[in-house]
Amino acid sequence: MYDTENYGKSNREATITGPNPEYDCYGRSTGVCYYRCSGCGVEALHRVDVQTHCRCGERR
Ligand SMILES: [Zn+2]
């Protein structure tokens, strides 16, 4: 289910996904949603925070 295969292939075409529902250890929704960069795997509660920490677009 984890898309670790994206780590290698999508450096140049990273997309921020979300909001994704977050689940606790029992598989129940916590009511919290997060955003995630498909390129570097950065996760944050806000899209802007992902963009802040994302390093995919630095080499332009
Ligand atoms: Zn990124």
d(CA 30, CA 46): 16
Q: What is the pLDDT at residue 10?
A: 45
* Cα 44 to averaged position of ligand 1 atoms, centre (Å): 11
The pLDDT of residue 17 is above 80 = yes
The beta-strand segments (E) located in 1-60 are: 16-23, 29-37, 43-44
- Among 1-5, 12-16, 21-25, which range has the highest average pLDDT? 21-25
Element (H, E) at 58: none
* Cα 2 to averaged position of ligand 1 atoms, centre (Å): 16
Reported as a single tens digit per residue, the pLDDT across 19-49 is 999 999 999 999 999 999 999 999 999 999 9
Dihedral through CA 40, CA 46, CA 51, CA 54, nearest 10?
Answer: -20
Q: What is the pLDDT at residue 13?
A: 72
Domain boundaries, the chain: 6-53
* Cα 37 to averaged position of ligand 1 atoms, centre (Å): 5
* Cα 52 to averaged position of ligand 1 atoms, centre (Å): 9
Q: What is the pLDDT at residue 24?
A: 95
